[in-house]
Each structure stands twice: as structure tokens, then as C-alpha cells.
């Protein structure tokens, strides 16, 4: 009988053979590629999320409620998440502060995006996406957070969309804070994000809200903060907003000897424009080369003598993945461009990516 011979096959060998057969049937794609189409939020795939709600906050701002994939590891109030979104065939990554509760059984997170004049990504997220859209995600990051032992007296100093990380702190931690002042600047009353929620909290006596409407009252002068918050120097302060506000705060807190009580979150820089080919720097190797827009970075690096990790050279095995520290690359398979900044490096596959402008590879 041949049946006993079958028992010589181990479970692992049978599983391996089954995988090989499935891969043969699905070539040139992998089984995982089909799983991504039908279950993009599954465990084991690239971290992504599905937008489940687009909620208007003002005429030029929305809150995106996103159901994160199973690999999502939660966040701390005040942190941000990098979101990858495709706009006109180019994938862009932007960082947005998380405004949601940290523990949601459905893994729903939220970010609030304000459309910036000329901002391709923010305009697209505010006016061009709808429920059901899939976006790429990174794990939460950032240290603009409250300490585990909450300070007794807190001041939040914000302007514009700088209110978003603070809103995440308030929604999660307000019950642990005894004495909270929020001093917020916006052009008009209607431009104040989360206005109804904040004014309700103030009416309930849970925080003191000081609004400054700059179109009528002018910009807030940090040097005169004592007029609004007499005990500001005794408070631990978290400040977020435009560079001018934060520069003035750092100068004033430093000049009065309480710089250690000021915690600042600055907006991230805008990414560079992209081009066709460019200078490629392999920073750790100390090598720079000129590469055209059709040569894989793997090939450019090897020809320059850089030790490059590699595998299938077809974009399948992901053995060649390295961080793009800065600049832009183009995926040779579909023409999509990926950008990165020093604050926000991005993993790329060098075997199927070419330079799309000046770029810096962490290798």
C-alpha cells in the first residue's frame, strides 16, 4: 500500500509544497497580493487603514476616522501618525497628530487635517477623500506627550491646527489634570477647531479657555502672556503652532528662567520637489553618485562599490529594503513617487526604485 508512505511527509513539508503550488498559480503576483486586495487590514500585511468617516470641523478642516490594520500598536496622547496617500499617482507621506482615544476596541483612530493653501496632500485629504479610502500608516511616534504623573497646573498654548495634539491630550487625560488653561489663537470664532467641544468643557468648569480671534484682535503677543494667564511661569506648558509663536515662546520662557517648563511641538518641513534622476548619496558609506531615472538604486549603489543588500531583484522578496532618509525615488514598476524628509524617513525597495531627484539612502 502507498498510504504509509504519505506519513513520511512532515506537516511542514506539506505546507511548504502547498505554498509553492499557490505561488505557481498566482504568478507573477504572490498570494499575499490577493489577500491585500480582499483584506487590506489583515495581520501580516503592510500597515494601513480604511477611512470610515470624514467629519467636517470647519470650512477647511476635517477629522478623518480611520480603522487601523491589525498591526496597529495604539499610541500615547499627543503623538502623531504618518499617513501615506496617493495623489495623482504619487504616494505622499504626511504626519498628523492623533486626536482620538488611545484605546478603541475597533482600532479606530482619528486625525484632524486643515487644508493648507497650495498643499496638495492636505487639500486632497480635506476635499478629495471619502469613507472607504485605504491609506498607508506608520506606527505612532513623537514625544510631545504628558508625563505619566500629571502636573498639577498645565497651560496649553496653541494656534491654528497646533491645537490637534493638545486635543488628543484633553480627550484622554483631562480627568487627571487639576488645573488646565488653554490659550488658543485662530482667525475667527468659526475657525476654532473642536469649538463646541472645547466651549462645553469650559462651561462645565473642566478647563479655562482663552480664545484670541486674530482677524479682529491681532496676533497674540507671547511677551504679554501674564495679562491672560498670571501664573503662567508656574505651569508646565505645551505649545504647538506656527513657527513665529513657538520661537517667541522659547525666547520668553528662556529669558525668564523657566525654559524647562516649556514643551514644544513644531510642524514638519515640506518635502522637496521631485525630478528625473539626480544625485544619490549613500550616507553611511560616504559615497555619492549621479543616477538617471531608469537605473535601479540597487544597481547604482553596486556600481559605485556600495555593499547593497539584495535578493530576487524583482521587487518580490523585500531583501533590498533600506531607509530613504531624504529626497524622492520613483517605483520603476508603476511610476509612483515616494518622498521622505530627515524627520520622516521611508523604507524603499532599491531593486525597483530609481532616483527621482536628489536623495539620501541610509546605507
* Over residues 7-29, mean pLDDT: 55
- Predicted pLDDT of residue 54: 97
What is the pLDDT, as a whole number, of residue 251? 97
Q: Residues spanned by CATH 2.40.30.10 within the chain? A: 48-137
* Residue reference for cell 505546507: 15
Query: Which pLDDT value is given to residue 20?
Result: 62
What percentage of the chain exceeds 70 in pLDDT? 84
Percent of the chain with pLDDT over 90: 65
User: Does the pLDDT at position 155 exceed 50?
Assistant: yes
Interacting residues of 35 by C-beta distance below 8 A, sequence separation 6+ = 42, 45
Residue predicted with more confidence, 26 or 323: 323
Stretch 154-173: mean pLDDT, rounded?
97
CATH 3.40.50.80 range(s) for the chain read 153-266
Could you give the residue range(s) of every CATH 3.10.20.30 domain in the chain?
A: 278-361
Are the beta carbons of 100 and 168 closer than 8 angstroms? Answer: yes
Given this model, what pLDDT does residue 248 score? Answer: 96
* Residue given cell 504619487 in the structure block: 90
Give residue 36's pLDDT: 47
Q: Closest by alpha carbon to 346, among 86, 137, 99, 158? A: 137
What's the pLDDT at 84?
Answer: 87
Calpha distance 114→122 (Å, rounded): 7
Residue 13 has pLDDT above 50, yes or no: yes
Mean pLDDT of 281-302: 92
CATH superfamily of 278-361: Beta-grasp domain (3.10.20.30)
Q: How far apart are CA 180 and CA 101, in angstroms?
A: 19
Q: According to the model, what pLDDT value does residue 319 have?
A: 77
Cell of 288: 555619492
Give 101-151 pLDDT, tens digit per residue.
998 889 999 999 999 887 888 999 999 999 999 999 989 988 999 999 989
Give 154 or 298, the one with higher predicted confidence. Answer: 154
Q: 334 pLDDT band (50/70/90 cuts)?
A: confident
Q: Quote the cell numbers at residue 269.
A: 518641513
Contact present, 277 and 292 (Cβ < 8 Å): yes
pLDDT of residue 121: 86
Judged by average pLDDT, the poorest of 55-69, 184-198, 302-316, 339-353 is 302-316
* SS3 label, residue 44: coil
Averaged pLDDT, 287-312: 87
Cα 145 from Cα 332, distance rounded (Å): 40
| Contact yes or no for 136/51 (Cβ under 8 A) | no
Q: Which CATH number fits domain 48-137: 2.40.30.10, 3.40.50.620, 3.30.565.60, 3.40.50.920?
A: 2.40.30.10
Average pLDDT value for the chain: 86
CA nearest 353: which of 310, 344, 341? 310
CA distance 155 to 264: 12
Q: Average of pLDDT values for 282-297?
A: 92
CATH architecture of the region 153-266: 3-Layer(aba) Sandwich (3.40)
Answer yes or no: is pLDDT of 29 > 50.
no
Q: pLDDT band for position 271 (50/70/90)?
A: very low
CB burial of residue 339 (10 Å; 0-12, 13-18, 19+): buried
* pLDDT higher than threshold 50 for residue 274: no
Residue 270 has pLDDT above 50, yes or no: no
- Taking 50 as the threshold, does the pLDDT of residue 1 lie above it? no
pLDDT band at 38 (very low <50, low <70, confident <90, very high): very low
pLDDT of residue 266: 83
Amino acid at each position: 500500500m502507498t498510504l504509509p508512505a504519505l506519513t513520511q511527509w512532515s506537516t511542514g513539508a506539506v505546507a511548504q509544497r502547498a505554498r509553492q503550488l499557490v505561488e505557481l498559480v498566482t504568478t507573477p503576483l504572490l498570494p499575499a497580493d490577493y489577500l491585500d486586495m480582499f483584506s487590506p487590514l489583515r495581520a501580516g500585511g503592510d500597515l494601513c487603514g480604511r477611512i470610515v468617516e470624514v467629519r467636517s470641523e470647519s470650512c477647511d478642516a476635517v477629522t478623518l476616522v480611520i480603522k487601523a490594520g491589525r498591526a496597529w500598536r495604539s499610541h500615547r496622547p499627543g503623538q502623531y501618525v504618518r499617513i501615506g496617500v496617493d495623489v495623482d499617482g504619487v504616494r505622499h507621506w504626511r504626519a498628523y497628530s492623533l486626536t482620538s482615544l488611545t484605546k478603541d476596541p475597533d482600532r479606530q483612530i482619528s486625525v484632524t487635517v486643515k487644508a493648507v493653501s497650495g498643499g496638495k496632500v492636505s487639500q486632497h485629504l480635506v476635499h478629495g477623500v471619502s469613507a472607504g479610502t485605504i491609506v498607508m500608516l506608520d506606527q505612532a511616534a513623537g514625544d510631545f506627550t504628558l508625563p505619566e504623573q500629571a502636573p498639577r497646573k498645565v497651560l496649553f498654548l496653541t494656534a491654528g491646527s497646533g491645537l490637534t495634539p493638545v486635543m488628543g491630550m484633553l480627550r484622554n487625560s483631562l480627568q487627571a489634570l487639576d488645573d488646565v488653561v488653554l490659550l488658543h489663537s485662530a482667525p475667527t470664532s468659526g475657525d476654532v477647531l473642536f469649538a463646541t467641544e472645547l466651549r462645553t468643557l469650559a462651561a462645565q468648569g473642566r478647563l479655562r479657555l482663552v480664545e484670541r480671534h486674530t482677524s479682529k484682535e491681532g496676533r497674540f503677543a507671547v511677551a504679554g502672556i501674564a495679562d491672560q494667564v498670571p501664573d503662567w511661569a508656574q505651569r508646565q506648558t505645551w505649545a504647538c503652532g506656527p513657527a513665529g509663536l513657538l520661537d517667541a515662546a522659547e525666547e520668553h520662557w528662556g529669558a525668564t528662567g523657566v525654559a524647562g517648563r516649556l514643551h514644544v511641538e513644531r510642524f514638519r518641513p515640506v518635502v522637496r520637489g521631485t525630478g528625473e534622476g539626480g544625485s544619490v548619496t549613500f550616507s553611511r558609506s560616504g559615497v555619492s553618485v549621479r543616477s538617471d531615472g531608469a537605473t535601479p538604486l540597487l544597481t547604482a549603489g553596486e556600481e559605485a562599490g556600495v555593499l547593497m543588500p539584495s535578493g530576487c531583484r524583482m521587487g518580490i522578496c523585500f531583501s533590498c529594503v533600506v531607509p530613504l532618509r531624504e529626497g524622492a525615488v520613483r517605483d520603476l514598476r508603476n511610476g509612483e513617487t515616494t518622498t521622505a524628509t530627515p524627520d520622516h524617513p521611508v523604507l524603499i525597495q532599491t531593486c525597483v526604485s530609481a532616483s527621482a531627484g536628489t536623495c539620501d539612502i541610509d546605507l
